[in-house]
Amino acid sequence: MTDLEKVKEKVRKLQSRAGTAKRELHDLAEDLPVNWTEIKAVAEKTFDAFAELDAAKKELSALEDSR
């Protein structure tokens, strides 16, 4: 498996993880004020997932541009 293929697979997995985190945050927001104490933890998890996805997309773009 080439580096490009590995990074593409990483991006796909991170997109799934970020989507799941987004849905969890959305569900939490819909149920407010129930479980309001979980807002910070869920938001941080979502932020981290999207930050990691963004970094992987930049890495993928750099690899594709270098081809």
Confidence of residue 67 (pLDDT cuts 50, 70, 90): confident
Tell me the mean pLDDT in the region 3-22.
97
Specify the pTM: 0.90
- For domain 3-65, the question of CATH label 1.10.287.110 is answered with no
pLDDT at 1 over 90: no
Buried b (16+ CB within 10 A) or exposed e, 25-57: beebeeeeeeeeeeeeebeebbeebbeebeebe
Domain boundaries, the chain: 3-65
Would you state the pLDDT for residue 55?
98
Per-residue pLDDT tens for 20-66? 999 999 999 999 999 999 999 999 999 999 999 999 999 999 999 98
